[in-house]
């Protein structure tokens, strides 16, 4: 009897459900008091959201007691590993001394100085999430320049505040023509916000140059992930970031690096260090807090003077929260030391090579990227340069990979088409071997199917 990719998905989803009875029960209970039965829409996944009980080091246990090697890492947060002893000690100590004052604490100075050293930007302020960080950055660029327009990259995600929720797409058919991309706002965002945003493709300096030539007098700045991280991983082409740096500087606009996903993860000084281009502002969150909610913005003296002289009020009741600052201090000064990045990258490169070989053995082409704690391998015959090209990746295969890894003891982020893996300081080469073994089984399963066409998942879309 012939089999299809959908047959394989159906079989793996059945295994998934057989292992997660408690998660199913909790999800059903949660739907009575939480929309969708989850705490964040990003947690919703098929066949059922996974409810986590605990995590230690490189491992997590779900509500059913199943143990997994964790490559999800809370969407890239836990590069220090779960329950890291340095972070645990710092947080436990801080809890006994008070967790909130809405006044600065000494740890904030240490954290700011450490970030200044890593990113080459001397002034820092804190907030509570990546969304808040990018929101502050956009407010700053407009307060400083007196201009209204903001440029962002097609398909990129910078949090869920209004101005950046434009060109957040799930289907190739929704993007519009290349030279006039759609600016339809996300759900709940007023159309008027879309009129203040301009869209250019990643890795296309010519398109950005044309836009600045036409509307530069009205452009406050450009916000970009220096590596596009919601499309597997797409690195910048040589000269691209340098070109944007020159372009924005000539125009009197600000360049903002959204390093919420890359900062402290791809290198000791994030993508700013990795690619050698220093923007006007850097946005951080995720890994900075070691699992505690956090956010930060760093900038040049000139840019951040807009805060100190009162042109922009960067405020928040929980900004620089003592618990967050204690955790971040431990992360920066005791855990994520320079040598940890090389060790993680060695494991990641072995994983990438092993997965690529396993796929190639079954005649499947793939591409991948590894930097520091981050990496990805994608079953596709062409390395994409931008979001449109990435949308050609087969979503059904990505979902099958998620299921097969999960059913064989590896926890990755759901909707694996858009997410990469995240290592931690606790991962070992043996952990990487498990991913390779599972990928080899995935490759054999795909090779045994008659077709990779799917009625469950459409190519070019995250969900059907």
Mean per-residue pLDDT for 77-98?
97
Q: Which of 423, 115, 78, 131 is nearest to 270 (CA)?
A: 115
pLDDT value of position 417: 75
Q: Which of 204-218, 370-384, 423-437, 446-460 has the lowest mean pLDDT?
A: 446-460
Q: Which pLDDT score, from 0 to 100, does residue 143 have? A: 96
Residue 38: which residues within 8 A CB-CB, separation 6 or more?
27, 30, 44, 49
Question: What's CA 398's distance to the chain center, in Å?
Answer: 17
Instruction: Kindly state the tokens that stand for 457.
Output: 């998942």
248-273 pLDDT, tens digit per residue, is 999 999 999 999 999 999 999 999 99
Phi, psi of 132 (to 5 degrees): -65, -40
- The pLDDT of residue 1 is 52
Judge whether 82 and 290 are in contact, CB under 8 Å: no
Beta bridge partners of 165: none
In the predicted model, is pLDDT for residue 274 greater than 90? yes
Query: H or E element: which one contains 246?
Result: helix 240-251
Does 183 have pLDDT greater than 80?
no
Mean pLDDT over 281-308 rounds to 97
CA angle at 157 for the pair 155 and 160, rounded to the nearest 5°: 130
Least Cα distance to 442 among 379, 351, 370, 376 occurs for: 379
* pLDDT tens string 154-173: 989 888 888 887 887 667 77
pLDDT of residue 167: 80
- Is pLDDT larger for residue 429 or for residue 459? 429
In 99-211, which ranges are E strands?
Answer: 123-127, 149-153, 197-200
Cα–Cα dist 316/132, whole Å: 10
Average pLDDT value for residue range 231-237: 94
- List the catalytic residues: 157, 258, 286
- pLDDT at 464 (0 to 100): 33
Are 418 and 232 a contacting pair, CB within 8 Å? yes
Check if the beta carbon of residue 387 is closer than 8 Å to that of residue 169.
Answer: yes
**What integer pLDDT is reported at residue 170 of this predicted model?**
62
Between 169 and 140, where is the model more confident?
140
Position 185 scores a pLDDT of 76
Give me the mean pLDDT over the 455-461 stretch. 59
- Tokens of residue 278, six digits: 């220093």
- The pLDDT of residue 416 is 73
Task: Tell me what pLDDT residue 462 has.
Answer: 41
pLDDT class of 237 with cuts at 50, 70, 90: very high
Asked whether residue 353 carries a pLDDT value surpassing 90, the answer given is: yes
Q: Are 173 and 221 in contact (CB under 8 A)?
A: no
Q: C-alpha distances in angstroms, 281 versus 133, 299, 343?
A: 10, 4, 29
Share of the chain above pLDDT 70, in %: 98
Q: What is the DSSP letter of 376?
A: E
Section 420-448 average pLDDT = 97
Q: What is the mean pLDDT of residues 366-370?
A: 96
């Amino acid at each position: 009897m012939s089999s299809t990719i959908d047959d394989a998905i159906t079989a793996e989803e059945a295994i998934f459900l057989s292992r997660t009875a408690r998660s199913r029960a909790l999800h059903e209970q949660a739907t009575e008091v939480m929309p969708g039965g989850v705490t964040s829409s990003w947690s919703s996944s098929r066949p059922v959201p996974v409810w986590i009980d605990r995590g230690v080091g490189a491992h997590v246990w779900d509500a059913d007691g199943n143990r997994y090697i964790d490559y999800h890492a809370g969407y890239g947060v836990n590069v220090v590993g779960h329950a890291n002893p340095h972070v645990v000690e710092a947080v436990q100590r801080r809890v006994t001394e008070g967790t909130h004052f809405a006044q600065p604490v000494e740890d904030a100075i240490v954290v700011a100085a450490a970030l200044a050293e890593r990113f080459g930007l001397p002034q820092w302020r804190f907030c509570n999430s990546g969304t808040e960080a990018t929101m502050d950055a956009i407010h700053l660029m407009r307060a400083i320049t007196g201009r209204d327009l903001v440029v962002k990259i097609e398909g990129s995600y910078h949090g869920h505040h209004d101005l950046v929720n434009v060109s957040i797409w799930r289907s190739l058919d929704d993007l519009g023509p290349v030279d006039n991309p759609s600016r339809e706002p996300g759900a709940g965002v007023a159309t008027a916000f879309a009129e203040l945003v301009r869209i250019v493709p990643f890795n296309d300096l010519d398109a950005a140059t044309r836009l600045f030539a036409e509307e530069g007098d009205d452009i406050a700045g450009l916000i970009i992930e220096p590596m596009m991280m919601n499309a597997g991983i797409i690195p910048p082409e040589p000269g691209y970031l340098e070109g944007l740096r020159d372009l924005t500087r000539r125009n009197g606009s600000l360049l903002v690096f959204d390093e919420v996903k890359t900062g402290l993860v791809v290198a000791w000084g994030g993508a700013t260090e990795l690619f050698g281009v220093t923007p006007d502002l850097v946005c951080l969150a995720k890994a900075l807090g070691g699992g505690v909610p956090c956010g930060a913005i760093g900038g040049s003296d000139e840019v951040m003077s807009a805060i100190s002289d009162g042109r922009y009020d960067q405020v928040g009741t929980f900004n620089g929260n003592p618990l967050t600052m204690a955790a971040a201090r431990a992360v920066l000064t005791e855990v994520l030391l320079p040598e940890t990045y090389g060790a993680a990258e060695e494991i990641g490169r072995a994983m990438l090579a092993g997965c690529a070989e396993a796929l190639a053995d079954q005649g499947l082409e793939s591409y991948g990227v590894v930097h520091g704690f981050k990496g990805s391998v994608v079953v596709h015959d062409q390395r994409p340069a931008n979001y449109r090209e990435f949308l050609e990746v087969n979503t059904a295969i990505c979902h099958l990979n998620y299921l097969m890894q999960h059913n064989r003891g590896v926890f990755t982020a759901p909707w694996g088409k858009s997410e990469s893996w995240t290592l931690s300081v606790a991962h070992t080469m043996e952990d990487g071997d498990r991913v390779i073994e599972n990928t080899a089984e995935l490759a054999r399963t795909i090779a045994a199917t008659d077709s990779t066409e799917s009625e469950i998942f459409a190519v070019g879309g995250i969900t059907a």
